[in-house]
Amino acid sequence: MEVKIRLASLLPLLGCFAGITRAQEALTPTEPVNLASITLNDGIPTETSGLYTSYSSTMTLTGSGAVVTPAGNGTGNGTAPYTTTSDSVTLLVGSQGVIKTMSANETSLSGNGTRTSSSGMVQPTNTRPCNGYPEFCARKYSNITNVAAHNSPFVRQGNIASNQNMPVTIQLNDGVRALQFQTHLINGTFNLCHSSCDILNVGTLDDYFIDVVEWLKKNPYDVVTILLGNGNFVPPTEFIAPFKKSGLLDYVYTPPEVPMGLDDWPNLSHFILTGKRVVVFLNYKANQAEVPWLLDQFTQMWETPFSPVDRSFPCVVQRPPGLGDADAKNTMYLASHNLNTEINFAGASLLVPNTVLLNETNAVEGYGSVGKDGVDCANKWGRPPNFLLVDYYNMGPFNGSVFAAAAMLNNVTYNGKCCGRLTSASPSKLISQLSSNMWPVYMIAMMALMVVL
């Protein structure tokens, strides 16, 4: 019988031979009693009862801070226009977006069609980038493809559990606008651990959030998405403390209702002008009636298969289970484009990140590329993914290839602002180093499996 074992099954040997940081033996994870029997199988809960929420109708959230005014103010949908002045540009934002001058009698509403003006007055032109591109200021949050760092905090050279090699500040500087990772509540403090704190523990959620807040202070025209993994299924109220302590709560967006459909999301300018520039999703146990700003991920965003090993990256719904096509087309979605490889030995197998094929996986075009994955998804669902979840975002056939792929899917010209480096080595050399560093661990793991079997 073939046995498939994840990294968590090989903790002792992997810890000894790969230099993996172990959690202190005295630390005990905080685990709700009613979820004690749930385990993760290949990253997916073995028992899904009570983990996925569905709504028969839309629920209005109180205290959301949504800006609503009576209809008839000239914008056509009851949303007041916003005006703000920066050091170099004035943004005029209404329900239709940022007005950009095209000619003496025509203006284009970036991302939202066109209209004609009878006035010959020259209209202001938006030149201030929102999330890197002026065109994004007028687009809805749900109409933008973002590069998402898979397991963003897990950066440790030579560690098999790492998925990135740049810290979060450089990730954000380079253009990553979504940060995904798993948390584990241990003795009242959230730790950033990869599957288990015995495999890789890179510190506290508090410290990670402080770095994000410092970046937000310096970049007031950017909107960041955080995809939190609730590693030990704790109540959502537990997450309030690290958001408050770090100061990140001041930036968090609260939607006016749940669930939010595609057309319900505001333009990017709304987040920027209101200062609420961080959208936070929790994958399991969210309760927006209790914590309205901690969004229930799988009622408002679906995902393609987790830990993919198929280079064709089929664009099908895995989570939440049972989601119909009609609902999927009215919901944001994330494409998991972080390729894994399966190592087989003595009838057993181990899933590990496929670093050998990063040049193909993180390419703009070609079989197995992130660009082709986005195009295939767009052809199937009528729109590209909202998030491209990738490993080692700064590696590929050329510097910034994953961002070039996102720009293509966004129908904008890639701005070329990537990528930061902690080393002078070329991407191909780094890929080679990553692969060669992992092989001793693979061999040790295989020997361990022989003993187990």
In this prediction the pTM is 0.76
Q: How many domains does the chain have?
A: 2
Tokens, residue 135 = 């065109």
Question: Cis link prior to 419 (omega < 30° from 0)?
Answer: yes
Has residue 78 been placed in a domain? no
Residue 149: beta bridge partners?
179, 390
Nearest-angstrom CA–CA distance, 164 and 423: 13
Half-sphere exposure of 430 (CA within 13 A, CB side): 21
More confident residue, 223 or 453: 223
Beta strands 294-296 and 3-5: pairing type?
unpaired
Give the mean pLDDT of 8-36.
Answer: 39
Strands 189-194 and 348-353: unpaired
CA distance 159 to 166: 14
Counts for the chain of helices (H) and strands (E), in that order: 11, 22
**Mean pLDDT, to the nearest integer, of 354-377?**
97
The Cα–Cα gap between 418 and 328 comes to: 32
Instruction: Supply the residues annotated as catalytic.
Output: 150, 194
Assess whether pLDDT exceeds 90 at residue 435. Answer: no
What is the per-residue pLDDT for 328?
A: 96
In the prediction, which pLDDT does 98 show? 36
Provide the residue count of the chain.
Answer: 453
Same domain, 13 and 149: yes
What would the mean pLDDT of 77-89 be, rounded to a whole number? 36
- Say whether both 267 and 123 belong to one domain: no
For residue range 389-417, list pLDDT tens digits in order.
999 999 999 999 999 999 999 999 999 98
Between 350 and 34, where is the model more confident? 350
Residue of higher predicted confidence among 233 and 158: 233
- Could you tell me if 29 and 111 lie in one domain? no
Residue 385: is its pLDDT beyond 50?
Answer: yes
Whether residue 212 sits in one domain with residue 102: no
Peptide bond into 320 cis (omega under 30): yes
Over residues 49-78, the mean pLDDT reads: 50
Residue span of the structural domain in which 215 resides: 3-60+137-452
State whether 158 and 205 are in the same domain: yes
**Mean pLDDT of all residues belonging to the chain:** 76
Strands (E), 36-145: 40-41, 44-45, 59-60, 82-85, 90-94, 97-101, 106-109, 114-116
Task: Check residue 187 and report its DSSP letter.
Answer: T
Amino acid 161: pLDDT: 72
> Would you say the C-alpha torsion 378, 269, 78, 299 has a positive or negative sign?
positive
